Amino acid sequence: MPELPEVETVARLLRPHLDGRTVTGVEVRWARSVGGQARTLGPRVIGARLGRVERRGKFLVFPLERGGRGAGALVGHLRMTGRFTVRAADEPADPYERVRLALDDGRALAFDDVRKFGRWVFAAEPQDLLGALGPEPLGPGFDGAWLSAALGTRRRRLKPLLLDQTFLAGLGNIYVDEALHTAGLHPLTPAPQVPPAAAQRLATAVRTILARAIERQGSSFDRFYRTPEGRPGGYQDEFRVYGRAGEPCRTCATPIRRLVVGQRGTHVCPRCQPAPRRQRRTSR
DNA sequence: AGCTACTCCTGGTAGC
DNA sequence: TGCTACCAGGAGTAGC
């Protein structure tokens, strides 16, 4: 499922195709993909120029300009199976194409999405959609000191907390499992129980893993995530725990276990990631 | 505050 | 072969 490295890859590869293009048409094939804006989308985007595509967390932001001035943005989220592709206007549509923008160079920017969870909506003020997001893990504000302090103010367990986009923006199920393993932390550990040195390891693991995954253009372990050029990513070859239940840990050869945490499949090495001491149940 | 359950969706697959 | 039942899961929401 697309997380920060996949979305970053999409932004980087779309950029050269879209920067400065003018939108000449809109076609919506599945209204919910545009959040019910099927009727209003046309007037808001046709005639607008596309600015530089940006990523914020797992969101893609396509800024729009009119007469050199900001005119809102299209904000996209791939969720599970969304995909952006630039295709020639006469190229046949993907069977799961949900939305298409015609561009002034004769090509089209298509949003394909098998499971229809993804969204691509117009926002006059993109901050309305992005404002609640936590910091960028690859940004200057994120480091061991910040993470250690932030963990101390929360009571949740590490896994659901790291998946919470308002805590930290961009991590999903795969990279949380990978980072926790690299840092030697169990996903059920209560956040305030993480000592500063371990928080530092976790921050470093998050940054290192995300940066490496971007280099590999993301992870493709099923048929869903592909770059806008249609190629799979390469980071799945470097997974240490995700999807490896029963296989030996790459560090200590102990079989990887799969558990469910907050309705999410979760992968741990029982030796590298010792379970937290059982919490005392609060009596009465 | 933070937990669980539920919703949205579909293709793939396990089981019969 | 063909059917049904179930699974994955990001994020929003409701209820406790």
Kindly state the percentage of chain A with pLDDT values over 90.
71
* pLDDT tier for residue A271 given thresholds of 50, 70 and 90: very high
Which of the nucleotides in strand B have any atom less than 7 Å away from a protein CB atom? Answer: 1-6, 8-12
Considering the candidates A29, A264, A270, A276, report the single residue annotated as catalytic.
Answer: A264
List the structure tokens of A167: 């805590």
State whether residue A223 is helix, strand or coil: coil
Is pLDDT at A174 greater than 60 in this prediction?
yes
* pLDDT tier for residue A262 given thresholds of 50, 70 and 90: confident
**CB proximity A98–strand B (7 Å threshold):** no
Considering the candidates A21, A44, A49, A58, report the single residue annotated as catalytic.
Answer: A58
Closest CA to A200 of A135, A149, A266, A133: A149
Where helices occur in chain A by DSSP H, the ranges are: 4-18, 41-45, 127-130, 144-152, 158-163, 173-183, 196-215
Q: What is the pLDDT of residue A36?
A: 83
* pLDDT tier for residue A222 given thresholds of 50, 70 and 90: confident
**CB proximity A118–strand C (7 Å threshold):** no
Q: CA A119, A120, A122, A124: dihedral to nearest 10 degrees? A: 70
**CB proximity A277–strand B (7 Å threshold):** no
Is pLDDT at A219 greater than 70 in this prediction?
yes
Residue closest to sugar C1' of B5 by CA: A263
Considering the candidates A2, A126, A160, A228, report the single residue annotated as catalytic.
Answer: A2
Residue pointed to by tokens 């015609």: A102
> Phi/psi zone of residue A262: left (φ > 0), alpha (ψ -120 to 50 degrees), beta?
left
**CB proximity A154–strand B (7 Å threshold):** yes
Where helices occur in A67-123 by DSSP H, the ranges are: none
Is pLDDT at A280 greater than 50 in this prediction?
no
